[in-house]
Structure 1
Amino acid sequence: MIDNMEVIIFEIISQGGTAKGLAYEALEAAENEDFEKAQELLKEADECLKEAHKIQTDIIQAEARGEKTEVSVLFVHAQDHLMTAIEAKTLIEHIIKLHKKLAEK
Structure 2
Amino acid sequence: MEQQNLEAIMGLIVHAGNAKSDAVEAIQAAKQSDFSEAEDKITAAENALVEAHHAQTGLLTQEAQGNNMEVTLLAVHSQDHLMTSIAFTDLAKEIVDIYKRIG
Q: What is the TM-score normalised by the length of structure 1?
A: 0.92
1:57 positional shift? 1.1
Q: Deviations over 1:56-86 (max 9, x none)?
A: 1111111111111211010000000110011
Q: Which residue in the other structure is 2:30 paired with?
A: 30
- 2:48 maps to which residue? 48
Kindly state the Cα deviation for residue 3 of structure 1 after the two structures are TM-superposed: 3.9
CA pair 2-63 structure 1, distance change in 2 beyond 3 A: farther
The answer to whether the Cα contact below 8 Å between 2:8 and 2:56 also exists between their aligned partners in 1 is no
Aligned residues with identical type, % of pairs = 38
Match of 1:79 in 2: 79
Q: RMSD across aligned C-alpha pairs, in angstroms?
A: 1.4
Partner of 2:7: 7
Contact 1:52/1:82, CA 8 A, preserved across alignment: yes
Unaligned runs of 5+ in 1: none
State the aligned residue count: 103
Q: What is the TM-score with the length of structure 2 in the denominator?
A: 0.94
Runs of 4+ in 1 over 4 A off after TM superposition: none
